[in-house]
Structure 1
Amino acid sequence: MRLFELSMDDGDRVGPVHQAVLATNPLDCSLTDVDSGGRRLMRMVFNEGDGQKALDTISTMLEHQEGWRLVVLPVEASLPKLEAEPDPEVKKKIRTVALREEIYQDIQAGTKLDRDFLILTTLSTIVVVFGLAADNVAAVIGAMVIAPLLGPILAFALGSALGDFALMTKATRTALSGLFLGMAISVVIGLVFDVNLGSAELTNRTIVGLDSTALALASGAAAALSIVAGLPSTLVGVMVAVALLPPAASTGLFAGSGEFSLAARAGLLLMINIVSVNLAALLVFFFKGVRPRTWLERRSAKRSVYINAAVWAVLIVALTAVAVYLTVPGVPEVPGVPRS
């Protein structure tokens, strides 16, 4: 359940807004008297998966007004218990989807290119680099979880679904900054330290094939679904499954050690992961109905979805074809390390 609280100046818009909200069938709706500041407070309660129509209605009616604020709060419990169940046929049509504004706020937070993002990327890169070199699975997984690189990738997909070019630009800047920072640190470590290029964790990032694309597509779809369903905690598992930092760090390590062929393979895996996550997340957002509020914005967003989906699809086919062409049985040969 969700609680909507609408605070607005008293005036001739209060009545129409109240009637429009009642038409969206909230579980409960109340309107307070005018307070000492000349404001009214409207409280509405909606079931999980409901409320988007009411939110859009309020936004449309008050879009050009001043002095109003709508706050959405999660409801942990409500008494008395709701006994009435929706009609079975109606229940089948209900999609449990987080509010568009909730999804936007959750994902937009991952696009902030600030000091914390850079520090977290630096620390996670150091952890993953030495974890890869030492063949330490625990260290690699830990770095996957704390690395903040998946956020801006999902933000770009959401921006594509909404036709929000500002969000897409911000996400691109943050993602590229994080990836370049991670790769630069890895290159420096590869130049300074005598890295064990025979580590299984490291050489595994140079093995690419159809399974790499399948894993990245499934993980990207799972990430988007977890956000749309309002379950961001499940992203931890997705971060491990479709980690972007290990292949980026592997690319930098191999490049710093002068193994440019292996660096190219790791870079190919990184590109497959990025493109697959974007394509899968974009399709999930689109088919789950995550769209802008107005008709004009929806038309622009639809065009954005088609263009971006086409570009990602062409890229994933091309990258997968290269991966299949490069696929060889067993572990790639590393100079100075016998093939097992």
Structure 2
Amino acid sequence: MALRVIDIYHPDTDEALDVPDAPYDVLGHWTYAIDDDQRVDRVLMEVEDTEAFLDWVDDAVITEYRVVIHAVEATLPRPEVDGDEGEEDEGGDADEEDTEGRSARVGRAELYEYARDATDVSGYYYALIALSVVVAAGGMLRNQTAVVIGAMVIAPLIGPNLALALGTTLGDLDLLRQSAWANLTSVGLALSGALGLGIVMTVDPTTGELAGRTVIGIADIALAGAAGAAEALAVPRGRATGLVGVMVAVALLPPAVATGLLFGAGHPDPALRAGLLTATNVVSLNLAAVCTFLLLGVRPRDWRDMEQARTSPRTALTLWGGALVVLVLLLWQFA
């Protein structure tokens, strides 16, 4: 049972917030004044309840406030969750309806912070991208699969891609711009680096590691979709993202590097097919991630424009789904 402590700082009204105990379980509630003008309400609850609770805070607290969320490593004695037995007998059906579809994932606020941090790329991030391109190119040119896998371990591609899918799902234009820029610069660096290597090195397009990135089929779309779904499942639950990041890099790094190498070496036809595979994988990955976010119950909540909040999931599915259809048609033309 993952727990969170939520501190709500608000103007001191000499009264604690009247926190309801439904549809979430409040495991602890404390309040105290921290100075003459401000009060803090501290609430302990399970991580899957935080999103609904924060939505209530935004609706109920009409004054200016600040929320700070803390992860709880441990607490003694262990809190007891109400309603496991007694409430099930009296109102079991209603309780099942209240909790149906809830998943043990972090709330929208924590997920958003992770995505925003992931788009704040630095020189260290770009250095890892450049190194992964060199390693991947060396593995492809020597037809050494293990070396290519090593490049996927180095490449830090999961964060910006997850942020792009989340920004599309939530209809958050700022997050979309930041994540799109991080992804474009990452792909641009990979392509330009591989292009330069392709110019100065001997590239054989029939090499297995290169030729395999110029053949596009349903299996490639399924692989990228699985990677997108995996990243959208792992991060909201706070799972380790290292192995999932490798899976994302499998879908993105090798075809991008193959595109640059083949273009640089003067092989435009296979380079175009590798580029098409790269674009198809990007779209498939993000479409699967958006669908997974929606299945997990991640929804936009834009209090300034509720109509935009209601339409953004449909817009996300339409954009990524339409892009995938276009790419599939292009694949059919190239086949």
- TM-score, normalized by length of structure 1? 0.84
> Which of 227, 235, 239 is the equivalent residue of 2:244?
235
SS at 1:40's partner residue?
A: strand
- Counterpart in the other structure of 1:312: 320
- For residues 76-103 of structure 1, give each alpha carbon's deviation from its aligned partner in whole angstroms, at most 9, with x where no partner exists: 3232234556347646624222110111
8 Å Cα contact 1:21-1:54 kept in structure 2:
no
User: What are the residue-to-residue correspondences of 1:266-281 with 2, within 5 Å?
Assistant: 266-281=274-289
| Superposition deviation, residue 161 in structure 1 | 1.2
8 Å Cα contact 1:275-1:315 kept in structure 2:
yes
- Unaligned 5+ runs, structure 1: 328-340
- For residues 262-302 of structure 1, give each alpha carbon's deviation from its aligned partner in whole angstroms, at most 9, with x where no partner exists: 10111111011100011111122223221233455443133
Of all paired residues, the percent bearing the same amino acid is: 31
- Counterpart in the other structure of 1:100: 108
SS at 1:267's partner residue?
A: helix
| Superposition deviation, residue 38 in structure 1 | 5.5
| Superposition deviation, residue 318 in structure 1 | 2.8
Residues 1:286 and 1:302: Cα distance change in structure 2 (over 3 Å): farther
8 Å Cα contact 2:205-2:270 kept in structure 1:
no
SS at 2:74's partner residue?
A: coil
SS at 1:51's partner residue?
A: helix
Correspondence 1:288 to 2:300:
no
Q: Which moved more, 1:219-228 or 1:39-48?
A: 39-48
- Counterpart in the other structure of 2:256: 248
Correspondence 1:46 to 2:45:
yes
> Which of 75, 80, 85 is the equivalent residue of 1:78?
75
> Which of 204, 210, 230 is the equivalent residue of 1:222?
230
- Counterpart in the other structure of 2:182: 174
- Counterpart in the other structure of 2:12: 11
Q: Which moved more, 1:270-279 or 1:69-78?
A: 69-78
Residues 1:299 and 1:263: Cα distance change in structure 2 (over 3 Å): same
- For residues 46-79 of structure 1, give each alpha carbon's deviation from its aligned partner in whole angstroms, at most 9, with x where no partner exists: 12311222222223444651xx542222223232
Counterpart of 2:58 in structure 1: which amino acid?
S
SS at 1:70's partner residue?
A: strand
- For residues 124-152 of structure 1, give each alpha carbon's deviation from its aligned partner in whole angstroms, at most 9, with x where no partner exists: 11111112112222221122122133322
Number of matched pairs: 321
8 Å Cα contact 2:4-2:47 kept in structure 1:
no
Counterpart of 1:53 in structure 2: which amino acid?
A
Matches of 2:47 and 2:196, distance apart in 1: 49
8 Å Cα contact 2:227-2:244 kept in structure 1:
no
8 Å Cα contact 1:3-1:43 kept in structure 2:
no
| Superposition deviation, residue 226 in structure 1 | 1.5
Matches of 2:319 and 2:80, distance apart in 1: 49
Matches of 2:62 and 2:167, distance apart in 1: 22
8 Å Cα contact 1:2-1:72 kept in structure 2:
no
Residues 1:143 and 1:81: Cα distance change in structure 2 (over 3 Å): same
Residues 1:152 and 1:63: Cα distance change in structure 2 (over 3 Å): farther
- Counterpart in the other structure of 1:2: 3
Counterpart of 1:235 in structure 2: which amino acid?
V
CA RMSD of aligned residues (A): 2.5
| Superposition deviation, residue 176 in structure 1 | 0.9
Matches of 2:17 and 2:73, distance apart in 1: 25
Q: Which moved more, 1:254-263 or 1:171-180?
A: 171-180
- Counterpart in the other structure of 1:337: none
> Which of 133, 155, 166 is the equivalent residue of 1:147?
155
- TM-score, normalized by length of structure 2? 0.86
Residues 1:37 and 1:217: Cα distance change in structure 2 (over 3 Å): same
8 Å Cα contact 1:208-1:324 kept in structure 2:
no
Correspondence 1:195 to 2:203:
yes
Matches of 1:230 and 1:299, distance apart in 2: 31
- Counterpart in the other structure of 2:311: 303
Counterpart of 2:153 in structure 1: which amino acid?
V
Matches of 1:35 and 1:99, distance apart in 2: 27
Correspondence 1:27 to 2:36:
no
Matches of 1:6 and 1:47, distance apart in 2: 14
Counterpart of 2:289 in structure 1: which amino acid?
A
Matches of 1:146 and 1:154, distance apart in 2: 17
